[in-house]
Amino acid sequence: AQSVSQHNHHVILSEAASLELGCNYSYGGTVNLFWYVQYPGQHLQLLLKYFSGDPLVKGIKGFEAEFIKSKFSFNLRKPSVQWSDTAEYFCAVNGKGGGNKLTFGTGTQLKVEL
């Protein structure tokens, strides 16, 4: 079975601070990895995804994530956050051979203060 852990449940940053949100997954085989963002009152939006190739993946709005296979991690980063990045961030995994469902982490609520 596949599972995802997000260790930071609430993060508060000042504008221009750097961001790193942790994500670890558990699955015995090859995985596809995703980060989704949910702005207040809105739907889940795909930030970025990793399937194969370069483990450093760049997404929308200046976000990037690095897949480290040896650590089963897929941490999300942004060098300089903005107030508009206030949202909830979800890491998700789809294990190849595990059907086509996504397994989500519990989410990290990010608040960026001016």
Partner 1 sequence: EPEVTQTPSHQVTQMGQEVILRCVPISNHLYFYWYRQILGQKVEFLVSFYNNEISEKSEIFDDQFSVERPDGSNFTLKIRSTKLEDSAMYFCASSAVRGNYGYTFGSGTRLTVV
Query: Which stretches of the chain bind partner 1, using CB under 8 A?
Result: 32, 34, 36, 42-46, 49, 51, 90, 92, 94, 96, 99-107
Which CB, 11 or 17, lies closer to partner 1? 11
> Least CB distance from residue 17 to partner 1, whole Å?
26
Three-state SS string over the chain comes to: CCEEECCCCEEEEECCCCEEECCEEECCCCEEEEEEEECCCCCEEEEEEECCCCCEEECHHHCEEEEEHHHCEEEEEECCCCHHHCEEEEEEEEECCCCCCCEECCCEEEEEEC
Which CB, 17 or 44, lies closer to partner 1? 44
Which CB, 34 or 81, lies closer to partner 1? 34
> Least CB distance from residue 106 to partner 1, whole Å?
4
> Least CB distance from residue 98 to partner 1, whole Å?
10
